[in-house]
Amino acid sequence: MNNRLRGYLSIFVAAFFWGSSATVAKSLFQHNVVPLLLIESRVIIAALVLLVFSLVARRDILKISFVDVAGFAILGIVGVAGANYTYYMAIQKMNVPLAILMQYTAPVFVAVYMLLTKRESISLPKTTAIVLALAGCTIMLGLLNPNVHIGVVGAVLGLSSALTFAFFNVYTKTAFKNYPLWTGITYTLLAGSAFWLLLDLFVRPSIGPFSQSVIWSLITFSMISVLIPYFFYFTGLRYLLPSTAVIISTMEPVVAIATAFLFLGERLGMFQAAGGILIVSAVVLLEVKRE
C-alpha cells in the first residue's frame, strides 16, 4: 500500500468514527449527560490512557525538547480543547448534521490564511471556492429562510468550531514534525486536559452525576471520539496535505447525517442541505485546484 492510499484510508476511518460519535454525543445529551462533562472527560480519559501506556510500555514516547512544549500546548488548548468545546456545544444548540456542516467551512479559512500569509497566490478557483462556502454558510444560518432560526449563540459556536478545526489542521504539521505520532498525540491531549483541569479550578462547574453507567459511557465515548480517530487522522496528515485531509474527512457529515437520521430521527431542511452542498463543493474545488 503506497503512502497516499494509506493517508486516504486513515482519514476515512477517522471521519467514520467522528461522524458516528457526534450522534452518540447528541444521544448522551438527551439522556441528561451534561455537555461540559462529555467535552472534558473525552480528552482527559484519552490522555490518561496514553500517559499510563507510555509510562508502562513506551517511555521513549514522552521524550521531547523543552522548546517544543509551547507548540503542543497551543495545539492542545486551541486545536483540541477549543475545537471540542465549540463543536459539541454547537451540537447541543442545533441538530447534528447542521453543526458538522458548519464546521466544514474550515478549508475555506485555511485557504484564506494561506493567501493572507502569502504562502499561496490568489486564483479564480480559490476565489470561487471561498464565495461558494460563504454562500453555503449564509444559507445554513437561515439568513435566506425566515423559517430557520439558529440564533446568535449557535452561529458563533458553529463558526468558531470551523476556525479552531482549521487551526488544528494547519498547526499539526508544525507541532508534530520532529516527533513520532504517539508522542504528538500524547502531549497534545495532555495539554488539552491540563487546560480543562485548570479551568475547573476557577469555574468549578457542576458536571455530575457520575453513576457507573455514565462512567462507562464516557470511557467508551473517549475511545471512539478521541483515541481511535485521532490516531488515524494524525496518521493521514503524515502522508497528505491538510486540505486533502479535510476533503476526505467530509465523509464525517455523511456518516453523521446517516446515523442521526437512523438513530435520532434528525433531518436537514432543504435550505440547509443546499448550503451544505455549496460548502462541500467549495472544499472539493479547493482540493482539485491544489492537486
0.85 cut: is pTM over it?
A: no
- Position 279 pLDDT exceeds 90: no
Which of 2-6, 52-56, 220-224, 278-282 is least confident?
278-282
Predicted pLDDT of residue 216: 86
Predicted pLDDT of residue 284: 73
Which amino acid appears at position 68 of this protein? D
3 state DSSP class of 152: helix
Predicted pLDDT of residue 272: 67
- Position 60 pLDDT exceeds 90: no
Percentage of the residues of the chain whose pLDDT score is greater than 90: 12
Q: Which comes out higher in pLDDT, residue 291 or 285?
A: 285
Predicted pLDDT of residue 74: 93
Predicted pLDDT of residue 122: 63
Alpha helices in 104-211 (DSSP H): 106-116, 124-140, 152-176, 181-203
Q: CB of 289 within 8 A of CB of 127? A: no
The structural domain count of the chain equals: 1
Average pLDDT, the chain: 79
Each residue's pLDDT tens digit, 101-110: 777 777 778 7
Predicted pLDDT of residue 105: 74
Predicted pLDDT of residue 97: 64
- For 119, residues 6+ apart whose C-beta sits below 8 A from its C-beta are none
Each residue's pLDDT tens digit, 202-234: 765 555 556 777 788 889 999 999 889 988 988
Q: What is the grid cell recorded at 176?
A: 508534530
- Position 291 pLDDT exceeds 60: no
Mean pLDDT of 13-40: 82
Q: CB of 104 within 8 A of CB of 279? A: yes
Each residue's pLDDT tens digit, 139-167: 765 555 556 556 778 778 888 988 998 88
Q: Which residues form the domain of 99?
A: 3-290
- Which candidate, 222, 242, 239, places its Cα nearest to that of 283? 242
- Position 47 pLDDT exceeds 90: yes
Burial class from Cβ neighbours inside 10 Å (0-12, 13-18, 19+) for residue 205 reads exposed
Q: Which comes out higher in pLDDT, residue 10 or 129?
A: 10
Q: What is the grid cell recorded at 83?
A: 475545537
Burial class from Cβ neighbours inside 10 Å (0-12, 13-18, 19+) for residue 208 reads exposed
Predicted pLDDT of residue 289: 59
- For 175, residues 6+ apart whose C-beta sits below 8 A from its C-beta are 68, 71, 72, 74, 75, 184, 188
Long-range contacts formed by 215-220: CB under 8 A, 24+ apart: 217/28, 217/33, 218/33, 218/37, 218/38, 218/41, 218/42, 218/45, 219/45
Neighbours of 100 (CB within 10 A): 28
Q: Which comes out higher in pLDDT, residue 289 or 95?
A: 95
Predicted pLDDT of residue 148: 56
- Which candidate, 165, 162, 170, 114, places its Cα nearest to that of 136? 162
Residue 76 binned pLDDT confidence (cut-offs 50, 70, 90): very high
Predicted pLDDT of residue 223: 92
Each residue's pLDDT tens digit, 241-257: 776 676 677 677 667 77
Predicted pLDDT of residue 34: 77
Q: What is the grid cell recorded at 236?
A: 493521514
